[in-house]
Amino acid sequence: MALRYAVANGNWSNTATWDGGTLPTSSDDVFANGFTVTINGTFTVLTIRTTSNAASPTILAGGGFTFANGGDLTCTASNGIINRDVASVYALTFDLPSGNSATLRASVSTIGITTNARSILIQNTGTFNMVGNYDLNTSTLAGRATITVNASTVINIVGNITCSQITIHVNHTLLISSGTPTITITGNVSGGSTNSLTTGCGIFSSVAVTINITGNINTNAAASILLNAGGTLNVTGNTTGGNAYPAIYNIVSPATIDLLGISTSGTGSNAVLGISTTFVKIRGNVVNTDTYAAIFAGRIVIDDNVTSWRFKDSTNTITRTLYTAGVPLGNPATNNVRFGTTYGASGELTGTLIVPSPSNVLQGVGTDATVGTLLMTPADFWNYAIASGFDPNSIGDRLQNVSTVATTGGQIASYNI
């Protein structure tokens, strides 16, 4: 491992930007050293830093790194970005115009004690891809964030968004401050351990954001996702409330929340809690833990015909479950139930099996819960033949043209030569 640092503002790919006139390698910790370095290619290092370093007095705190026209940076250390802990100064900035994209492959855990200190800024309208896990660690002052979004941009994150904060301060891992971004996350989201609703959130949005999550929403104490200005939230995964506050909280403006997965209230709060203009679409099972409603919102619909909702009775000891019509409850198939018979938990099923009556089934042959009573006699056959004697192509119709000894003899006797 080596310490490398910038000696001028410039592109990463320019050797004149770096001490010693060579590019940093995958085994290096890289310092901005008070300069701005533009990431303009594909590079791999251990970390990028805006701090000073006691082992090298020539390295100064300050500066930063930026994506301005594309690029792909990988930081392989467990904490890939080390910020100098100065208010509103970012170690890494995404600043690409629309039509451009850049990728960061690094896990980041923001640690520090300075108010409003942050690690990553996303601005402008390009597409920003991030691969790694992002966390906000213990902090003793407010206003901190690991990722700050200030633009109407597209952000794709593959990794977990967590908050490890254990003190009550207004800090969030992913802070969405302005613009109308669309954010897609493939990973889990969780809030911090602070016993306060609006502090230590995994995601906090002050704008009408669109967030698509494929992963689980797990809550410790603080809300995992707090929508402070409404928007759209789509979750494909399980959502679980916490011991004091909900997993998802919509606090001010109308929001649409679509849940595909199991939604479970926590031991002390809901899975989803929203004001009256919150619209929740349920496409999975719902479980009320104890007597807390898993979904508490102004508008709720069930968009999946295999959904159930589990409640507790007033004694909190007996489970009651409501089912939609399509939930398999061990009922027989409709083609195994007598035609016209309605059955099911709410009479939603109708039998289609047609069973002949005993009078139409041969005597002794089983039918329904009894046996047939039909007994055929010679007279039945004779009477049927008579009744159908003149039906076209019946036996009687054919017998009319059959020759007998008498009719043949009569024909011969009447023949004159």
> Would the pTM of this model clear 0.85, i.e. be above it?
no
User: 104 - beta bridge partners?
Assistant: 73, 130
Decide if 372 contacts 365 (C-beta within 8 A): yes
Per DSSP, 339 falls in state T
Q: Rounded to whole angstroms, how far apart are CA atoms 75 and 52?
A: 18
**What are the DSSP calls for 39-76, one per residue?**
--SEEEESEEE-S--TT-TT--S--EEEESS--EEEE-
Q: Rounded to whole angstroms, how far apart are CA atoms 328 and 258?
A: 23
Which residues lie closer than 8 Å to 350 by C-beta, 6 or more apart? Answer: 334, 337, 340, 341, 342, 343
Decide if 322 contacts 311 (C-beta within 8 A): yes
Q: Give the tokens for residue 128.
A: 């920003």
Each residue's pLDDT, cut to its tens digit, for the chain (417 residues) gives: 699 999 999 999 999 999 999 999 999 999 999 999 999 999 999 999 999 998 888 999 999 999 999 999 999 999 999 988 777 789 999 999 999 999 999 999 877 666 667 799 999 999 999 999 999 876 666 667 899 999 999 999 999 999 887 655 567 899 999 999 999 999 999 987 665 666 788 999 999 999 999 999 998 878 899 999 999 999 999 999 988 889 999 988 999 999 999 999 998 899 999 999 999 999 999 999 888 999 999 999 998 888 999 998 888 888 888 888 777 777 788 888 889 898 876 677 888 998 888 888 778 888 877 887 877 777 766 676 676 666 777 766 666 666 677 777 776 777 776
Looking from the CA of 111 toward its CB, the CA atoms found within 13 Å total 9
Q: Rounded to whole angstroms, how far apart are CA atoms 395 and 384?
A: 10
